[in-house]
């Protein structure tokens, strides 16, 4: 009884620690028109070119007339000319 009350919670704590160290994938993706947005996946669409950057790339950029950071959208799609195109 004592073994279960000590070891099982300890194993649970170790497992949660290991799972918390796994980093989440996040990217900033930009199209050729200067639209940029956060995404969690690298989707590729035929005939559409994207540049993927690490998530912290956003903080080191100057946003202005040539590049626009767009809001996050759920679901598959991409920004084109300031409009969200859904797939």
Q: State whether residue 23 is helix, strand or coil.
A: coil
* Least confident range of 16-25, 30-39, 44-53: 16-25
Within-domain flag for 76: yes
Within-domain flag for 18: no
Please name which of 49, 41, 44 lies closest in space to residue 80, comparing C-alpha atoms: 49
Within-domain flag for 36: yes
Please name which of 49, 58, 48 lies closest in space to residue 27, comparing C-alpha atoms: 58
Bigger pLDDT: 7 vs 83: 83
Q: How confident is the model at residue 76 (pLDDT cuts 50, 70, 90)?
A: confident
What's the domain range around 61?
27-86
Contacts of 67 (CB under 8 A, 6+ apart): 30, 34, 36, 61
Within-domain flag for 16: no
**What's the pLDDT score for residue 2?**
65
Within-domain flag for 12: no
Within-domain flag for 22: no
- Compute how many other C-beta atoms are within 10 angstroms of the C-beta atom of residue 30: 22
% of the chain residues with pLDDT over 70: 72
The count of domains in the chain is: 1
Q: Residues 33-37: what's their mean pLDDT?
A: 92
pTM score of the predicted model: 0.64
Within-domain flag for 56: yes
CA quadruple 40, 43, 48, 51: dihedral positive or negative?
positive
């Amino acid at each position: 009884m004592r073994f279960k009350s000590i070891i099982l919670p300890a194993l649970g704590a170790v497992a949660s620690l290991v799972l918390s160290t796994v980093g989440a994938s996040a990217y900033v993706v930009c199209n050729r028109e200067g639209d940029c947005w956060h995404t969690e996946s690298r989707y590729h669409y035929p005939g559409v070119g994207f540049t993927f950057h690490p998530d912290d790339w956003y903080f080191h950029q100057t946003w202005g007339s040539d590049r626009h950071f767009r809001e996050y959208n759920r679901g598959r799609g991409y920004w084109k000319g300031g409009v969200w195109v859904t797939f």
